[in-house]
Amino acid sequence: MSEPDVKKPDIALLGIPIEIGASQAGTLMGPAALRTAGIARVLDQLGFAVEDHGDLSISKVISDGPPPANARFYDEVKTWIRLLSERAYHLARSGAVPIFMGGDHSLSMGSVNGVARYWKEQGRPLFVLWLDAHADYNTPDTTITGNMHGMSSAFLCGEGGLDDLLGDQPRASITPDQLDLFGIRSIDPLEKKLVQDRRVAIADMRALDEFGVGVLIRRVIERVKAKNGLLHLSFDVDFLDPAVAPGVGTTVPGGATYREAHLVMELLHDSELVRSVDIVELNPFLDERGRTARVAVELIGSLFGLQITDRRTPTNAMLQGR
């Protein structure tokens, strides 16, 4: 007997062409590169109703007080974040699965805040899986560069130093135990101490090598399910090894392989926990003929159900010899 068709949730694409949170220009072209690489087409072929909401844009920079020290382009980033947080809240409220196409990683301060605000109203905790070469857990007091894309996960966990970033909007902070840093291989000294003090879960590349991505991702999934939570995936393409994804401004050798990244996405799809996604730090200016954008789109395909062979529960089926 064939199974009845199950309506898949709508997907909302939103481009956030922000680059001033990073040290190198070019990420503003990220949304266009993902569209050119066929992100909407892949999702449509998987049976989703996809609506592209275009790109977010700011017309005037908000300046409503002195910026904190050691936060470069604070007013500009603040303007983007306030607009995005409100937009993310309404997209989540619409019932769609929003995919925020960046843009540098500072955008997550708005996307995650807006989504977390919605799920908090529903009584569901939002966990954040941070696929990244970097922890991004700096504050203005710990940062070396002052670049705000390196402060995004710390801001989301309620760390101080950027307290007026959202203005009058609600700040829906997650707790440090709702954040998983995955694939980390570069962290600043004071940032490292802060992460350790907060007991943030870290699966660095040593852990991935030692235990394997499957074991470690399942631990994240089990922890989220135990709390009746949901997942926001914040996917920095520098999570991948530069040999796989050269189109980023902050490459760090020794990243995840192509197959490791696909396994992460496939297991996340099987979990049915992911309700929102960031794709960040794609810099087409540094890419090789669109290679990184194509890889990112292929990984998003795996996240939303693209499979080599059709199977409902691949892991269980293999274990039972089917």
> Catalytic site residues?
105, 132, 134, 136, 149, 236, 238, 281
Q: How many residues does the chain have?
A: 322
Residue 64: burial class (beta carbons within 10 Å; 0-12, 13-18, 19+): exposed
Answer for the pair 229, 273: CB distance below 8 angstroms, yes or no.
yes
- Please give the angle made by the CA atoms of 269, 274 and 276, to the nearest 5 degrees: 130
Answer for the pair 294, 279: CB distance below 8 angstroms, yes or no.
no
Contacts of 23 (CB under 8 A, 6+ apart): 145, 147, 249, 250
How many Å apart are CA 255 and CA 278, to the nearest integer? Answer: 19
φ, ψ at 35 (rounded to 5°): -65, -45
Answer for the pair 255, 205: CB distance below 8 angstroms, yes or no.
yes
Answer for the pair 46, 306: CB distance below 8 angstroms, yes or no.
yes
Answer for the pair 204, 154: CB distance below 8 angstroms, yes or no.
no
What is residue 98's three-state secondary structure? strand
Amino acid identity, position 310? D
